Each structure stands twice: as structure tokens, then as C-alpha cells.
Amino acid sequence: MNFKDTIKTCLKDKYANFSGRASRSEFWFFYLFLIIVYAILFLFIVTVSFKFLWVFGIFVLGIIIPALAVTFRRLHDINKSGWFIFLPFPFEFIGRVLEKSYAEDILALSVVFTFISIGLYIYLFFLYCTDGDKKNNRFGKNIYKKRKKRR
């Protein structure tokens, strides 16, 4: 899937579609698009006026659902549940709560929870980079099947 098709697929065809599968190219092209738009909006806000921060806010609110959807579909492609994206959050939350404590023992425990959440983020990044299943899985049909050309 190319860059243009990815944007069309994620923002129009599968805006809130959390089922099915997404290839690595669809996932990474969509996140490349997000980074480019974030950079342009950030530069626009910094160079023109901070009054345009609301444009950035509206974009972020509008892009949350398709970003979550393509991430769910990417995890489905490797036969993992989309809920895996939430794995680091409980550890991160506990770590942040424990940081508010002033006892040294509890602060050390906070560091442990922070390292666990970082490890889980690395694991998720590894999953995003993993090849998709080349066969049907519980989340959908094979999206990598070579189609025969008609003559």
C-alpha cells in the first residue's frame, strides 16, 4: 500500500474500523502522515501565532480514533488482540502514583514500574515491526495473498 492509499484508507474507508487487519506499510505510512502533519501544525503555531493552537487540538481530537483503529488492525495482522496497546498503561499509572510518595523505598518501586512500562512499549514497537501472518487468522483473511492477474 502506498502513502496516498494509506491516508485514504485510514481517514475515509476505515476511519473507525477496529476489525480486520492492517499491513506494516499501512500502519507506518499513517504514522508518518501524523508526524508530518504534527510538525507542520507545530511550526505554524510557533511561527505565526499561538492563537492557532485550537487547530492543532481539533486535529488531535479528529485523529485519535483512526490512529487507534489502525493500531488495533496492525496488532490483529500479527494475530494479537488490539487491546495489547493498553498493556503499559497500568504500570505507568502505578509508577506515577508512587512517584508522589516521599519514602525512598516507594520511589525505588516507582522506578521499577517505570522500567516495566518502558519494556512494554519496546515490546509493542517490536510487534508493530513484525511481519504479518501470511495466512488467515482469527481477525480476518490473508491480506498478503497474491492475486492472479487477469489477461
> In a 3-state reduction of DSSP, which class is residue 17?
coil
pTM of the model: 0.85
Cite the DSSP H helix spans in 17-52.
24-47
Say if residue 104's pLDDT is above 80. Answer: no
Give 42-93 pLDDT, tens digit per residue.
Answer: 998 888 888 778 888 999 999 999 999 999 999 999 999 999 999 999 999 9
Q: What is the 8-class DSSP label of residue 148?
A: P
Confidence of residue 143 (pLDDT cuts 50, 70, 90): confident
Instruction: Determine how many CB atoms are found less than 10 A away from the CB of residue 78.
Output: 18
Confidence of residue 36 (pLDDT cuts 50, 70, 90): very high
Beta bridge partners of 140: 137
